[in-house]
């Protein structure tokens, strides 16, 4: 059966006759759906969010960095469908799972979405299907969580169906790399699964990097993001130390980056956001503890980065004191609640944490974000707010403006000219002219 199943599915993939299903149509899944569509496959997108299904069915994108015209075109050709009906998993020759992997309340992995999706796939699994997990997770997840669930019905991995892991590497808003041009790691549960997954991805993505196992691919994803988390924690800690010494961390980083080797610039901020960096270190640390191994370095980086919102609030309190103002009763405006510039992505945003912390201290808090007109309830926050319009008069009405996200559309000179006090966590006002004493870097 091995050669027959492998050959049949391989022929479908090579001839672009395979139907590709993408499970989870967020910042990872929707661009991937688009990439496979552009490579000539028929695609089916699955999501439990009915609003996403309705928008896409009407040719509308909810991700601003994707080409709206292309999204509209995709849903007019008949080769692209979206649905919330998970029974249609059986129609797909390949199923790629891009569901969330958040943290639980005690910073432990929450694999409930991965587990539920695996159960849904298992109920509809048939012979000659390839299943790939893309969600960021600790090494061993694909083999220890997905494989037993998918095998429970009697189908054999590597013979009847195929299973692999290929970590997503999306960076929403990035211009110099896209889903199609970011190299794709692929690790299979077995050689046959790896071969099929590599064949599939090679149709849509320029560079494929096969590795020896799913565990290697899972670990590589962890290392990529822990590397960034550790280095960001380092500059965040350096920021605190150098601030006490009256030295500008951003100027120090620029100076160090002049060295053409041995240094890569990372930048401080008000905390980490997004779907990977604030989460992946804890996934790896949890896995290590299960093996009786301490990960002091990894866990420390998480602690440092999670402490940054409190550091910003403390600096804001001290700055307001200089103006004879208490935080309690002050009007504070947060600029930017997206976790990074020029996207609408608010996952794990430190901006939300800042709003909650200032409110707890008695401040009246508003926000402005051109990419986030209003906020919705998330797993960690329940801030039902609307973005206020930005104007000279509006800026002047606040006791303090806190720059949390440095969107390129902001007029920093307007902000500098009219705000009474600015807490700049991103060095966004480095080129502002005239008044400077009211700008506090934090």
Q: What is the DSSP letter of 44?
A: E
How many angstroms separate the Cα of 353 from the Cα of each of 24, 143, 270, 337?
26, 36, 10, 10
Query: How many whole angstroms separate alpha carbon 403 and alpha carbon 268?
Result: 13
List of residues 6+ apart from 91 with CB closer than 8 A: 19, 21, 44
Query: How many whole angstroms separate alpha carbon 269 and alpha carbon 439?
Result: 15
Helices in 268-349 by DSSP H: which ranges?
280-290, 296-306, 308-322
For every residue of 346-404, DSSP letters joined together read: -TT-HHHHHHHHHHHTT-EEEEE-TT-SB----SS-----BPPPP-HHHHHT-SEEEE-
Task: Pick the closest to residue 330 from 430, 423, 392, 428 (CA basis).
Answer: 423
Taking CB atoms within 8 Å and a gap of at least 24, the contacts of 374-378 are 375/337, 375/346, 378/346, 378/347, 378/352
How many angstroms separate the Cα of 130 from the Cα of each of 97, 121, 169, 289, 324?
11, 11, 20, 32, 65
Query: How many whole angstroms separate alpha carbon 129 and alpha carbon 257?
Result: 48
Confirm whether 98 is a catalytic residue: no
Asked if 132 contacts 98 with a C-beta cutoff of 8 angstroms, the reply is: no
Q: Is the CA virtual torsion 347, 107, 165, 22 positive or negative?
A: negative
Catalytic residue among 98, 157, 194, 276: 276
How many angstroms separate the Cα of 155 from the Cα of each of 2, 42, 124, 127, 340?
12, 25, 12, 7, 43
Q: In degrees rounded to 5, what are phi and psi of residue 46?
A: -120, 135
Asked if 142 contacts 164 with a C-beta cutoff of 8 angstroms, the reply is: yes
How many angstroms separate the Cα of 427 from the Cα of each of 121, 150, 276, 439?
47, 49, 23, 10
SS3 107: coil
Burial of 48 (0-12, 13-18, 19+ CB in 10 A): middle
Hey, which residues are catalytic here? 276
């Amino acid at each position: 059966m091995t050669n027959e199943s492998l050959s049949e599915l391989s022929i479908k993939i090579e001839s672009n006759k395979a139907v590709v299903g993408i499970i989870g149509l967020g910042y990872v899944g929707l661009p991937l759906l688009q990439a496979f569509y552009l490579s000539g496959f028929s695609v089916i997108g699955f999501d439990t969010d009915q609003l996403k299904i309705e928008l896409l069915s009407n040719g509308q994108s909810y991700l601003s960095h994707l080409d709206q015209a292309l999204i509209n075109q995709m849903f007019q050709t008949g080769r692209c469908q979206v649905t919330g009906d998970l029974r249609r998993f059986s129609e797909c020759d390949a199923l790629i799972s891009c569901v969330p992997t958040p943290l639980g309340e005690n910073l432990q992995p929450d694999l409930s979405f991965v587990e539920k999706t695996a159960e849904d796939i298992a109920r509809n699994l048939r012979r000659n299907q390839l299943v790939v997990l893309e969600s960021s997770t600790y090494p061993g997840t694909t083999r220890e969580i997905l494989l037993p669930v998918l095998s429970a019905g009697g189908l054999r991995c590597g013979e009847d169906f195929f299973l692999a892991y290929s970590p997503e590497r999306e960076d929403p808003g990035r211009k110099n790399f896209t889903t199609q041009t970011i190299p794709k790691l692929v690790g299979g549960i077995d050689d046959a699964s790896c071969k099929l997954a590599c064949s599939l991805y090679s149709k849509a993505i320029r560079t494929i990097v096969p590795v020896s196992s799913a565990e290697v691919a899972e670990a590589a994803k962890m290392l990529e993001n822990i590397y960034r988390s550790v280095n960001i924690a380092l500059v965040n800690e350096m920021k605190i130390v150098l601030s006490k010494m009256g030295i500008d961390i951003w100027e120090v980083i620029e100076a160090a980056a002049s060295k053409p080797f041995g240094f890569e610039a990372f930048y401080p901020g008000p905390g980490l956001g997004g779907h990977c960096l604030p989460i992946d270190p804890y996934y790896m640390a949890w896995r290590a503890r299960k093996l009786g191994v301490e990960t002091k370095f990894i866990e420390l980086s998480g602690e440092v980065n999670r402490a940054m919102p409190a550091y910003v609030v403390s600096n804001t309190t001290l700055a307001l004191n200089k103006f004879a103002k208490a935080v309690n009763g002050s009007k504070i405006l947060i600029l930017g609640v997206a976790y990074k510039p020029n996207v609408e992505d608010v996952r794990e945003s430190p901006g939300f944490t800042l709003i909650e912390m200032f409110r707890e201290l008695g401040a009246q808090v508003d926000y402005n974000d051109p990419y986030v007109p209003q906020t919705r309830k998330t797993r960690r926050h329940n801030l039902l707010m609307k973005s206020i319009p930005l104007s000279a008069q509006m800026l002047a009405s606040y006791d303090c403006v806190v720059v949390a996200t440095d969107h390129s559309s902001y007029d920093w000179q307007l902000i500098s000219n009219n705000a009474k006090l600015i807490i700049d966590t991103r060095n966004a006002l480095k080129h502002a002219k005239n008044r400077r004493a009211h700008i506090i870097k934090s």
